[in-house]
Amino acid sequence: MTEQVVTGGGRRGASSAVERVVATVREGVKTGRYVPGQRLVEADLMRELGVGRNALREALSRLRSDGFVQIEAHRGASIRRLTREDVAQLYELREVLEGLAARLAAQRIGETDHRQRLVAALESMHEVARTAELPAYMDENIRFHRTIVELSAHPRLEELVDQLQIQTFRIQFRSAAANHDRTGMREYSVTEHQSLAEAILDGDGTRAEDLMRRHLRHTRSGIMQLPDGDFA
């Protein structure tokens, strides 16, 4: 019992440190603090986050497994740059998983506060599309998608989609920024989200899944038009 308390506390502390590093890097990728190709200097991260070398390296190993970083001999860790093939495959996965999420969300739209949450997310997206700059709209875009996944009431699905969304968010942002007709882009995006929300609110799982998949295929198509310099 004594050993469990001592070693268990130590393991919990190490686990907490690992999780802190993982969360920090994931959030940094999402917000653009860490950009593709940027080196992650171990000494800087250890000092900033107050973690030891073992915890840091365990966290970096996990981030590599999740596709966020790459680790090279004599160079260390850096934020992974995505190839065109990487992006295509990530969006194929998002299409399947978020299509399923939309179907499940429609099937469960009558539960507790699900309907109110989706309506609120849609209204917020409309408001931000009218009033905010592109970065704020992109944030709202991903929140809308996450709301649908949350309404699927499938925690494992939510975890997988979150990982994929973070990896594709920055390159999706560059695609949107490269579109000179930003107003038209937003209007088209909002229209797609409106139709998707209506299908879910109607409880039509088949239509919701089809609209989500078509929406993500359209997004992927826009990203594929980016110049080669935006990919590894």
Write the pLDDT tens digit of every residue in 43-71.
999 999 999 999 999 999 999 999 999 99
List Cα–Cα distances, 192 to 38, 205, 222, in angstroms: 34, 16, 14
Q: For the ranges 48-57, 172-181, 214-223, which has the lowest average pLDDT?
A: 172-181
- Under the banding of pLDDT at 50, 70 and 90, the label for residue 87 is very high
Assigned CATH for 2-79: 1.10.10.10
Query: 83: which 2 tokens?
Result: 């190839």
Q: Work out the widest C-alpha separation in the chain, in whole angstroms.
A: 66
Average pLDDT, the chain: 90
Rg, C-alpha atoms of the chain: 20
Which whole-number Å values give the CA distances from 142 to 19, 102, 121, 126, in the listed order?
Answer: 23, 14, 11, 14
pTM score of the predicted model = 0.86
Q: Which CATH architecture has domain 84-230?
A: Up-down Bundle (1.20)
Residue 7 has pLDDT above 70, yes or no: no
Q: What is the Cα–Cα distance from 218 to 135, expressed in whole angstroms?
A: 20
Domain ranges of the chain: 2-79, 84-230
Residue 193: both structure tokens together = 């989200």
